């Protein structure tokens, strides 16, 4: 039998070479070639010979919904789909210093009647104890250890008499002595995570892996982890603000796009049960360039303020700066305003900000952005008691968006009286409760031109702005 030859495989595109190279010829990535030795198969073991049969079953069958273990932090439980599932692996990603260790320590302490292990590879036992004391959690029955060798960690988790939840803080500090590279590299992170996930599945405890995000926005190495785990949560927020948002981007046991809102206080993270009130807390009414968007994050309505500033440019190319929204989407909205309604924005600098540090991904924010821009351009405030939502199409039409009634209901709860929104789509929104439009006067917007005229921007304005 010929000896299996070593191959170098690009970890980014999968191209193979027989020699090591610093740069992959096929995709151009640097430092992605890793050596892989194919295992030599026993003679004749090709084409499925020697394999054993697997049993197939039908789709319909008896499997109960997995039992859930609550952490006592309702925002966290909801993001996980209603609690922790035994044997599942959850990746918690986020920037360093955002509050991942604090959140998980609080979650461990909130688990009642469960056996919980917290393994730290980053901090010393004393540091974790100090934090626990500061949070008033020192009496919680958490088994704390400081370790980085994954072999020791796996052996200890395997031999604990009872274990329901384990936290590894962080996966980048763990190392497997079977692998020849530094902790935090792709191979190390993947090997350690694999071993830990295996033991979690075998013993049936929920496993939290903490992962740091690098500057480019991906977890260091851990993109590889996203498909290995059952749930991926990102803990995000602006360190300048006290809000923190826990967002589910993948969940095999619950809905994705669900968010949990927290506030960082000197006594740790506090749940925010009414995020809209918090996001609107610093709003000053009757200011031009400001507009309240009634959005949906996951299953929950969230009202946020969108602020715009439009100023004549002093540069050759006008500046566009966006915080909390998509730049491409802003360019599309300004292009529609220009070419469908004749509102000239081209010679202006545009700054757009979603107040409070929230990042919005919904296209339903288009109309609110358009309203904020028009208000900034005309110095005419959007009525303080109005909310705005709707998706703008390229021909300037405003399209209906999902969960209209839920958005209006939330706005009503927070004391808003009016809404600018597209007509509901013909099929009524069955998921939401009874229509509540009675409390709120909804102005139907079918085309962007409808709101342009609300700001009194007319042909004279257009010529003044340089058309």
Interface residues with Mg ion (CB under 5 A)? 101
Cis bond leading into 170, ω under 30°?
Answer: yes
Three-class SS of residue 426?
coil
| Chain center to CA of 372 | 25
Closest to ligand TYD by CB, 229 or 388:
229
Name the minimum Å distance from CB 183 to ligand TYD.
16
Query: Which one of 219-227, 261-269, 370-378, 409-417 is the stretch in contact with ligand TYD (CB under 6 A)?
Result: 261-269
Q: Is 267 in the site for ligand TYD (CB under 6 A)?
A: yes
x/- mask, ligand TYD, residues 122-161, rule CB under 6 A, reads ---------x--xx--------------------------
Q: Is 94 in the site for ligand TYD (CB under 6 A)?
A: yes
Name the minimum Å distance from CB 269 to ligand TYD.
8
Q: Is 268 in the site for ligand TYD (CB under 6 A)?
A: yes
Closest to Mg ion by CB, 210 or 360:
210
Our separate counts of H helices and E strands in the chain read 12, 23
Integer Cα distance of 254 and 252 in angstroms: 6
Query: Which one of 22-30, 74-82, 98-106, 414-422 is the stretch in contact with ligand TYD (CB under 6 A)?
Result: 98-106
Which residues pair with residue 271 across a beta bridge?
262
Determine whether 194 is exposed, middle or buried from the number of CB atoms within 10 Å of its CB (0-12, 13-18, 19+).
middle
Integer Cα distance of 26 and 10 in angstroms: 9
Closest to ligand TYD by CB, 101 or 276:
101
x/- mask, ligand TYD, residues 46-85, rule CB under 6 A, reads ----------------------------------------
Integer Cα distance of 25 and 10 in angstroms: 9
Three-class SS of residue 206?
strand
Closest to ligand TYD by CB, 229 or 344:
229
**DSSP type of residue 244:** E
Name the minimum Å distance from CB 363 to Mg ion.
35
Determine whether 135 is exposed, middle or buried from the number of CB atoms within 10 Å of its CB (0-12, 13-18, 19+).
middle
Q: Which residue is nearest to Mg ion (CB)?
A: 101
* Phi, psi angles (nearest 5°) of residue 432: -85, 165
Closest to ligand TYD by CB, 104 or 419:
104
Query: Which one of 31-39, 96-104, 150-158, 348-356 is the stretch in contact with ligand TYD (CB under 6 A)?
Result: 96-104
**What are the angstrom distances between the C-alpha of 371 and each of 54, 108, 273, 277?**
60, 45, 28, 21
CB 37 within 8 A of CB 7: yes
Residues 6+ apart with CB under 8 A from 413: none
Q: Is 237 in the site for ligand TYD (CB under 6 A)?
A: no
Name the minimum Å distance from CB 272 to ligand TYD.
15
Using CB under 6 A, list all residues that contact ligand TYD: 94, 96-102, 131, 134-135, 264, 266-268
């Amino acid at each position: 039998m010929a000896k299996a030859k070593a191959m170098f495989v690009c970890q980014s595109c999968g191209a193979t070479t027989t020699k090591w190279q610093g740069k992959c010829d096929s995709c151009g990535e640097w430092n992605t070639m890793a050596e892989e030795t194919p295992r030599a198969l026993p003679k004749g073991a090709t084409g499925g010979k020697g394999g054993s049969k697997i049993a197939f079953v039908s789709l319909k069958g008896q499997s109960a919904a997995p039992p859930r273990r609550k952490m006592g932090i309702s925002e966290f439980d909801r993001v996980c789909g209603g609690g922790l599932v035994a044997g599942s692996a959850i990746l918690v990603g986020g920037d360093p210093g955002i509050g991942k260790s604090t959140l998980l320590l609080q979650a461990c302490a909130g688990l009642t009647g469960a056996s919980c292990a917290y393994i730290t590879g980053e901090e010393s036992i004393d540091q974790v104890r100090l934090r626990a004391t500061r949070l008033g959690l020192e009496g919680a029955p958490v088994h704390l250890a400081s370790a980085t060798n994954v072999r020791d960690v796996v052996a200890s988790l395997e031999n604990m008499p009872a274990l329901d939840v384990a936290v590894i803080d962080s996966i980048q500090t763990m190392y497997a002595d079977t692998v020849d590279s530094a902790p935090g590299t792709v191979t190390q992170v993947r090997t350690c995570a694999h071993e830990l996930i295996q033991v979690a599945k075998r013993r049936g405890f929920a496993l939290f892996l903490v992962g740091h995000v690098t500057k480019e926005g991906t977890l260091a190495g851990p993109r590889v982890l996203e498909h290995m785990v059952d749930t991926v949560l990102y803990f995000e927020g602006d360190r300048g603000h006290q809000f923190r948002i826990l967002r589910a981007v993948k969940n095999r046991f619950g809905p994705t796009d669900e968010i949990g809102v927290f506030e960082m206080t000197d006594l740790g993270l506090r749940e925010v049960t009414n995020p809209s009130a918090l996001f609107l807390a610093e709003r000053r009414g009757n200011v031009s360039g400001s507009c309240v968007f009634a959005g949906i994050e996951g299953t929950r309505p969230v009202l946020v303020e969108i602020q715009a500033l439009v100023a004549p440019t002093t540069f050759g190319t006008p500046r566009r700066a966006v915080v909390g929204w998509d730049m491409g989407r802003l360019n599309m909205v300004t292009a529609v305003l220009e070419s469908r309604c004749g509102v000239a924005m081209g010679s202006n600098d545009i700054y757009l900000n979603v107040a409070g540090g929230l990042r919005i991904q919904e296209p339903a924010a288009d109309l609110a952005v358009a309203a904020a821009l028009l208000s900034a351009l005309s110095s005419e405030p959007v009525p303080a008691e109005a909310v705005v939502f709707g998706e703008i199409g390229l021909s300037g039409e405003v399209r209906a968006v999902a969960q209209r009634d839920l958005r209006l209901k939330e706005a009503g709860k927070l004391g808003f009286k009016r809404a600018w929104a597209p007509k509901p789509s013909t099929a009524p929104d069955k998921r939401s409760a009874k229509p509540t439009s009675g409390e709120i006067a909804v102005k139907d917007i079918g085309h962007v031109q409808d709101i342009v005229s609300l700001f009194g921007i007319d042909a004279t304005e257009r010529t003044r702005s340089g058309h």
